[in-house]
């Protein structure tokens, strides 16, 4: 098959849904690397222990797991949507997305690891926040943003309800940190320890302003 024949194949609508699974895996992997690598690098600099080689191994493992899990989830999710569509005579149902996400989430993110825990908590926060009443107009978007051409325009939370959510969230997490620290996710626990406990201790001017003890 020559190049033009290959392009005709990948542009053929009959194969679109199958190739979308492949591209979904690709996009999941790329996005996972983009999100996790800088995060893991910063956390290693701030809280990492051991030599440079040890830290880079940790960064690599976290980035690899995040990227592969996103690739697995996206491809599995799209596959399950396609199977349900075919089983329903080519029609999509509203519940299909929930069922596909439910099965994919269990199979891919159901194993409790540090990376999976962070991803699931991120998703939970977005799901909970989605129930806040919305403001009257959508978020502003630059012409280059995917939202600029989307038929669905995300709308920000109502500012008053958001203020209440922010107050309750911060009040709750500060109480948990003080009274039930064992229930807080490790990455956030490390961050809060750095902010609120390490700032209580110093020995001299250097450890007051430049470096922790």
- For the chain, the average pLDDT equals 87
**To 5 degrees, how large is the angle CA 78–CA 22–CA 71?**
70
Quick one: pLDDT at residue 96? Answer: 94
Encode pLDDT of 153-196 as tens digits: 888 888 888 788 878 888 888 888 889 989 888 878 888 888 88
Quick one: pLDDT at residue 213? Answer: 67
Q: What is the DSSP string of the chain?
A: --HHHHHHHHT-GGGHHHHHHHHHHHHHHHHHHHHHHHHHHHHHHHH--S-HHHHHHHHHHHHHHHHHHHHHHHHHHHHHHHHHHHHTTT---THHHHHHHHHHHHHHH-S--HHHHHHHHHHHHHHHHTTSPB-SSPPP--TTSGGGG-SS---PBPHHHHHHHHHHHHHHHHHHHHH-GGGS-HHHHHHHIIIIIGGG--SSHHHHHT---
Cα–Cα distance measured from residue 129 to residue 135, given in angstroms and rounded to the nearest whole number: 13
Which range has highest mean pLDDT (76-80, 123-127, 189-193)? Answer: 76-80
Which one, of 165, 102, 94, lies nearest residue 131 by Cα? 165
- Using 50, 70 and 90 to split pLDDT, how confident is the model at 148? low
Quick one: pLDDT at residue 6? Answer: 80
| pTM (2 d.p.) | 0.76
Q: Inform me whether the pLDDT recorded for 76 exceeds 90.
A: yes
For residue 44, give Cα distances in angstroms to 34, 172, 184, 187: 16, 27, 19, 11
Q: Tell me the percentage of the chain whose pLDDT exceeds 90.
A: 42
Phi, psi (deg, nearest 5) at residue 157: -65, 155
Q: Tell me the percentage of the chain whose pLDDT exceeds 70.
A: 96
Q: Inform me whether the pLDDT recorded for 100 exceeds 90.
A: yes
Q: Inform me whether the pLDDT recorded for 1 exceeds 70.
A: no
Quick one: pLDDT at residue 32? Answer: 94
- Using 50, 70 and 90 to split pLDDT, how confident is the model at 33? very high
CB atoms within 10 A of CB 109: 19
> If you average pLDDT over residues 77-97, what whole number do you get?
94
> If you average pLDDT over residues 108-121, what whole number do you get?
91
> What's the chain's Rg over C-alpha atoms?
22
């Amino acid at each position: 098959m020559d190049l033009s024949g290959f392009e005709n194949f990948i542009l053929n609508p009959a194969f679109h849904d199958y190739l979308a699974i492949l591209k979904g895996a690709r996009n999941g992997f790329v996005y996972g690397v983009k999100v996790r690598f800088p995060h893991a690098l910063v956390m290693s600099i701030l809280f990492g222990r051991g030599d440079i080689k040890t830290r880079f191994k940790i960064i690599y493992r976290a980035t690899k797991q995040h990227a592969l899990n996103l690739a697995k989830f996206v491809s599995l999710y799209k596959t399950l949507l396609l199977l349900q569509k075919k089983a329903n005579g080519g029609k999509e149902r509203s519940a299909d997305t929930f069922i596909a996400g439910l099965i994919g989430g269990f199979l891919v993110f159901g194993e409790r690891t540090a990376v999976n825990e962070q991803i699931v908590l991120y998703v939970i926060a977005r799901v909970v926040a989605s129930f806040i009443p919305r403001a009257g107009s959508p978020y502003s978007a630059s012409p280059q943003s995917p939202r600029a051409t989307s038929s669905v325009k995300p709308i920000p939370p109502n500012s008053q309800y958001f203020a209440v959510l922010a107050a309750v969230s911060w009040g709750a997490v500060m109480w948990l940190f003080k009274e039930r620290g064992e229930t807080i996710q490790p990455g956030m626990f490390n961050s809060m320890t750095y902010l609120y406990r390490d700032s209580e201790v110093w020995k001299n001017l250097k450890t007051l302003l430049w470096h922790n003890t």
